[in-house]
Structure 1
Amino acid sequence: MNLPVPPWQTPKKRPAKQPLSREAIVAAALTVLDAEGLDALTMRRLAEELGTGPASLYAHVKDKEELYDLLIDAVCAEVRVPEASAEDWEERVKDFVRESVRVLTSHRDIGRIAMARIPTGFNVLRVADGMLGVLKAGGLSDQDCAWAVDILSLYANAHSYESSLFEQKLAWQENMLEVPFFEQLAEYYKALPADTFPNLAPMAAVMLTGNGDDRFEFGLDLLVRGLASRRPTVSPEVRPA
Structure 2
Amino acid sequence: MVDRSGSGNDGIPVPPWRRSRKPAQLKRQLSQERIVSAGLRVLDAEGLDALSMRRVAQELDTGPASLYVHVANKEELLELIYDRVLGEIELPEPDPGRWREQLHAYAMEAHRVLSGHADVARAALAGVPTGENSLRAGEFVFGLLIEAGMPPREASLAMDRLTLHIVGDAYEGSLHYARMRAAGLRDARVYFESFAGQIADYYRALPAERFPYLRGFVDDLIADDGEARFRYGLDLLLDGIEARMPKDGPP
Normalised to the residue count of structure 2, the TM-score between the two structures is 0.84
Deviation at 1:14, TM superposition (A): 2.7
1:115 and 2:125 equivalent? yes
Q: Which amino acid aligns with 2:104?
A: K
1:194 and 2:194 equivalent? no
Question: Which of 41, 52, 59 is matched with 1:49 structurally?
Answer: 59
Is the alpha carbon distance of 1:215 and 1:108 closer, same or farther for their aligned partners in structure 2, counting shifts above 3 Å? Answer: same
Superposed CA deviations along residues 150-207 of structure 1, whole A, max 9, x for unmatched, are 11111111011101111223455675x9992321221221121111113211121111
Q: Which amino acid aligns with 1:163?
A: G
1:218 and 2:228 equivalent? no
Bigger Rg, which one: 2
Q: Map 1:67-216 onto structure 2 (within 5 A).
A: 67-172=77-182, 180-216=194-230
Q: Map 1:226-237 onto structure 2 (within 5 A).
A: 226-236=240-250
Is the alpha carbon distance of 1:209 and 1:63 closer, same or farther for their aligned partners in structure 2, counting shifts above 3 Å? Answer: same
Is the alpha carbon distance of 1:24 and 1:174 closer, same or farther for their aligned partners in structure 2, counting shifts above 3 Å? Answer: closer
Matches of 1:15 and 1:201, distance apart in 2? 65
SS of 2:71's equivalent in the other structure is coil
Q: Which amino acid aligns with 1:165?
A: L
The percentage of aligned residue pairs carrying the same residue is 42
Deviation at 1:133, TM superposition (A): 2.0
Asked if structure 2 preserves the Cα contact closer than 8 Å seen for 1:68 and 1:113, the reply is: yes
Deviation at 1:3, TM superposition (A): 4.9
Is the alpha carbon distance of 1:173 and 1:59 closer, same or farther for their aligned partners in structure 2, counting shifts above 3 Å? Answer: closer
SS of 1:88's equivalent in the other structure is helix
Deviation at 1:44, TM superposition (A): 1.4
SS of 2:17's equivalent in the other structure is coil
Q: Which amino acid aligns with 1:113?
A: A
| C-alpha RMSD over aligned residues | 2.2
Deviation at 1:40, TM superposition (A): 1.6
Matches of 2:23 and 2:219, distance apart in 1? 69
1:19 and 2:29 equivalent? yes
Is the alpha carbon distance of 1:173 and 1:198 closer, same or farther for their aligned partners in structure 2, counting shifts above 3 Å? Answer: farther
Give the count of matched residue pairs: 229
The match for 1:31 is: 41
Deviation at 1:65, TM superposition (A): 0.5
Asked if structure 2 preserves the Cα contact closer than 8 Å seen for 1:173 and 1:180, the reply is: no
